[in-house]
Amino acid sequence: MVLQAEQGQIQIHTENIFPIIKKAVYSGHEVFLRELVSNGVDAISKRRMAAMAGDCSDGPEGLIQIRIDREARTLTISDNGIGMDAEEVKRYINQVAFSSAEDFLEKYKSESDAIIGHFGLGFYSSFMVAKQVELVTRSAREGSDAVRWSCDGSPNFSLEAAERSEPGTDVILHLMEEEEEYIEPARIRTLITTYCDFLPVAVQLEGETVNKRESAWRKSPRELSDNDYIELYRYLYPFQGDPLLWVHLNTDYPYNLQGILYFPKSTGRADWEKGEIKLYCNNVFVSDSIKEVVPRYLLPLRGVIDSPDIPLNVSRSALQTDRRVRSIGGFVAKKVADRLKQLHRDEPQRYAEIWESLAPFIKIGAMEDEKFAEQVADLVLFGTTAAPMEGEPAEGQSLDPIPGPDGKAFTTLAGYRSRLEAGNDKRILYCSDEAAQAGALALWKSQGAEVLLADTFIDTQFIPWLEYRHEDLKFQRVDSELDDSLQEKENELADADGKDASEKVRELFKKALANDKITIQVQALKGDNAPAALILLPEQMRRLNDMGALMEQRLPGLPDHHVLLVNRRHPLVEGLLKLSAGSVITGAGGGNSPSQQLADDLSRHLYALARLAVGGLEPNQLAGFQQRSADVMGRLMERGL
């Protein structure tokens, strides 16, 4: 028998949609209440619009009522919305649920943003918790009769006449034994405040209105006072203090989006992965993780974004990233930047006061987003050693340095460069740790140099990024090198061996330390308060060391290769040189004399002091340092020095 060629389609059928709903669509059972209440609110809205058009009777103020019957183990969600007649029940309930599951999912995949208010997937989420669901409904259209629909989760259902005096719908859930937590009033109250708190219709539990109803982000900023914004923040984030500032979002083109975002006070903890902004869809809470919507650098902001145009998956439990979502993220970032610009322009002192809390968002955002970097280019502040500007700036002049909290002063990079000498505005002096770099910082300040304070962890990455962005600039930490302006110009006399004082000091320290990785430099430093010795870390070498520490997730230590700068004008170094010279004259035999040994120990002690100043001594080295300090001081006292 010859097989005749033919073409056709493979038909795939499933018995019903319930297994897919229970196992594949929803990740959490509790969202059934969100779906049913949302449907009720939408039905109320439809009745109001239909009544305005004269298509049905008007009704009382919209109301959702939730009732619990412990004995019957039922949960009833009622609304006084538009309701349905028998034909609408067949169309909206039966045809959706008992068509092929594949068709069902495909249909709602393309209409995912319109799920709320449609009897379909939302209604059938009730079968996650109920072994039987009854629907008693009456249409608000004139001449309609009430009907009862009932289903036990199988393809079988019943549809019959019922009694209901007023238009609306009752959804009666006969709960499964393992889902009886939903007959506990406290559990239902929690779900209402979580998912339905800002719905514009009252949601009552056993006669008491539970939800807040008003959503401030749906109002115009002109309708809200500062206290209104603060009260919403306190409600959403109790016991977190008050926000620093907020950004009101409102646009209807090319997408519909409202919201309020808050900058929280810095607590040292921030969620840069999940975030703390709450996502709503038409006032219904959807998720507290919106990493697909806003850029990562804004995730630790707090507040609300509400948009029906953000594409959600079928169950609204996850976001789907597409071009529209990226566009929304760009809109949010721009609005945040605009608000920061406004504050910096209109209230510079207020901006400086809260800068430490703003800095992580701005710096990380600039490094991660080129558009955002352009928007905030003039908003980045640094602490500065310059005195803050007093009084009002002249016309056309900005307030810089800006007075900050606790007597601090802040400046922009442009403001700092404007105060440098002509031709010397390419080198940016900065300090990352005022305590560890105190010696070098004091030297620069003593000569009138202004130094920027870049003392946050982010600055180790932000400064190289700034150099990349401004190729003509060179950032130099105060302890990386010292220029001629900090050194005395002296003509040193050589002795009979042809060695001057600097050479002798260098040889003394080189012999005492016996470490080729340490470069010894000897200079005559200006200023009576110049230190006897300090560690210098060449900029590029130190950055490589810091980067290695970052990759290994440890704190950066003192690199093996570094510079020890000895100040030959310091009295201690001058005395050390005399002590060493005396040991050469009085010494005898082949070994070191006591004077030479003391000179070597003092050299090592000065080096340890310089290391201690930059945090270069490990905890296990501190005990030995203390012991050697006591020993050296004791020997000096014996000599009467």
CATH of the domain spanning 216-371, picked from 3.40.50.510, 2.60.40.10, 3.40.50.150, 3.30.230.80? 3.30.230.80
Considering the entire predicted model, what is its pTM?
A: 0.81
Query: Sign of dihedral through CA atoms 156, 159, 160, 162?
Result: positive
pLDDT for position 155? 73
Name the DSSP letter for residue 557. -
Taking only the tens place, the pLDDT of each residue in 589-617 is 445 677 888 888 888 889 888 888 777 77
Contacts by residues 398-407 (CB-CB < 8 Å, ≥ 24 positions apart): 398/348, 399/348, 399/349, 402/348, 402/349, 402/351, 402/352, 403/349, 403/352, 404/349, 404/352, 404/353, 404/355, 405/352, 405/353
What percent of the chain clears pLDDT 70, i.e. is strictly above it? 84
Structure-token pair, residue 25: 């669509």
Q: Judge contact between 100 and 12, C-beta under 8 A.
A: yes
Mean pLDDT calculated for residue range 416-440: 87
Q: Is the pLDDT of residue 119 over 50?
A: no
Q: Tell me, what amino acid is at 24?
A: A
Strand (E) or helix (H) holding 535:
strand 533-536
Position with higher pLDDT, 214 vs 613: 214
Query: Sign of dihedral through CA atoms 70, 71, 75, 81?
Result: negative
Torsion (CA) 15, 18, 24, 28 in degrees, nearest 10:
-170
Taking only the tens place, the pLDDT of each residue in 45-78 is 889 989 998 888 888 999 999 999 999 999 999 9
When the pLDDT of each residue in the chain is averaged and rounded to a whole number, the result is 83
Kindly calculate the radius of gyration of the chain based on its CA atoms and give it in whole angstroms.
37
For the chain, residues classed under CATH 3.30.230.80 are: 216-371
Is 13 exposed, middle or buried, given 0-12, 13-18 or 19+ CB atoms closer than 10 A? exposed
For the chain, residues classed under CATH 3.40.50.11260 are: 381-567
Structure-token pair, residue 571: 């009295």
Is 210 exposed, middle or buried, given 0-12, 13-18 or 19+ CB atoms closer than 10 A? buried
Q: From the centroid of its chain, how far is CA 303?
A: 13
Q: Look-up: residue for tokens 């290994």?
A: 552
Structure-token pair, residue 186: 């406290």
For residue 527, the SS3 value is coil
What's the length of the chain? 641
Please measure the distance between the N-terminal and C-terminal CA atoms of the chain and give it in whole angstroms. Answer: 120
Question: Residue 430 CB: number of other CB atoms within 10 A?
Answer: 21
Structure-token pair, residue 639: 């000599």
Choose the weakest-confidence range: 92-106, 383-397, 408-422, 534-548.
92-106
Mean pLDDT calculated for residue range 463-467: 93
Interaxial angle between packed helices 539-551 and 459-469, expressed in degrees from 0 to 180 and rounded to the nearest 10: 130
Where does 288-431 show beta strands of DSSP type E?
302-306, 381-384, 402-403, 409-412, 427-431
Residue 269's pLDDT band (cuts 50, 70, 90): low
Q: Judge contact between 81 and 169, C-beta under 8 A.
A: yes
Strand (E) or helix (H) holding 638:
helix 619-638
Taking only the tens place, the pLDDT of each residue in 142-195 is 989 999 999 887 777 889 999 999 999 999 999 999 999 999 999 999 999 999
pLDDT for position 1? 37
Strand 562-567 relative to strand 533-536, pairing: antiparallel
Torsion (CA) 417, 419, 420, 425 in degrees, nearest 10:
20
CA distance 99 to 11: 13
Closest CA to 565 of 469, 437, 457: 437
CATH 3.40.50.11260 fits 381-567, yes or no: yes
Q: How far is CA 337 from CA 229, 245, 341, 484, 510, in A?
A: 19, 12, 6, 42, 54
pLDDT for position 268? 64
Q: Look-up: residue for tokens 């700068």?
A: 565
Q: How far is CA 145 from CA 88, 141, 142, 166, 214, in A?
A: 12, 9, 9, 10, 34
Q: Judge contact between 579 and 504, C-beta under 8 A.
A: no
Regarding the domain delimited by 18-209, which CATH topology (the fold level of the hierarchy) does it fall under? Heat Shock Protein 90 (3.30.565)
CA distance 285 to 332: 19
Q: Judge contact between 44 and 196, C-beta under 8 A.
A: no
Closest CA to 531 of 505, 500, 502, 565: 565
Structure-token pair, residue 483: 């220029």
pLDDT for position 12? 32
Where does 39-99 show beta strands of DSSP type E?
63-69, 74-79
Question: Residue 606 CB: number of other CB atoms within 10 A?
Answer: 23
Q: Is the pLDDT of residue 113 over 50?
A: no
Question: Residue 499 CB: number of other CB atoms within 10 A?
Answer: 13
Structure-token pair, residue 68: 């619990």
Taking only the tens place, the pLDDT of each residue in 518-557 is 999 998 888 777 888 898 888 887 777 777 766 766 666 7
